[in-house]
Amino acid sequence: MTMESRVKDQSGVPTRGAPEVPGELVDEPGAVAPAEWRAWMRAFGRRVRTIRDFLGLSQEQVAKAAGVSQGAVSRLEAAQGLATPHLVVLKIQQVLARGLQAIDPTLLNDELRRAIDVARTFDTPLGGGDLPITEDPYLQQFVGLYQQIPERHRESLLMLLRAAVDGLKTTGT
């Protein structure tokens, strides 16, 4: 790859060359420099805190409902957890979105109404509903049955399955 790496110095001015601080490298299209990421996280944390306060919830209440620690909520709000796992952020957002869903939507701004709509797609695992996991529903059932069998019996199941497949091949059905 011949593209030169771009880095930002302490003042935020793009420069060329190797980064002085690990993680300051910005060579991906659309990549965000750490200083920009920190600013975004601070704004996001303030937004989380504002919504939580608006809903009248404590950090402990949000944490319990999200299944995370109170410290995780605190670190997110204070932008101290720049490496907070996405799942933790998503869980906290879900709790806040559910709280906002209980409020008359005409009282909320357009951005929050859109965020609530997006959050609804995550209410079930992977936005689910009746979303099939495999293209073939029989394969999905087979895998489910296979998972129910103790590991020590799985080899026997495969032997039975092979015999059934061989028998079905010869009968043509």
Do 73 and 100 sit in the same domain of this protein? Answer: yes
More confident residue, 14 or 146: 146
Structural domain that includes position 39: 34-127
Is 12 inside any structural domain?
Answer: no
27, part of any domain: no
Same domain? 44 vs 115? yes
Domain identity same for 162 and 103: no
Q: What is the CATH number of the domain that holds 44?
A: 1.10.260.40
Task: Indicate the number of domains in the chain.
Answer: 2
Q: Residue 142's closest CA among 131, 130, 152, 154? A: 154
Q: Is the pTM of this model over 0.75?
A: no
The answer to whether the beta carbons of residues 47 and 9 sit under 8 Å apart is no
Residues 164 and 118 in one domain: no
> Is residue 4 domain-resident?
no
Q: pLDDT tens digits, residue range 14-65?
A: 443 333 333 444 445 555 567 788 888 888 899 899 989 988 899 999 999 9
C-alpha–C-alpha distance, residues 142 and 138, integer Å: 6
- Best mean pLDDT range from 45-59, 71-85, 111-125, 127-141: 45-59
- The mean of the pLDDT values for the chain is 75
Evaluate whether residue 15 is within a structural domain: no
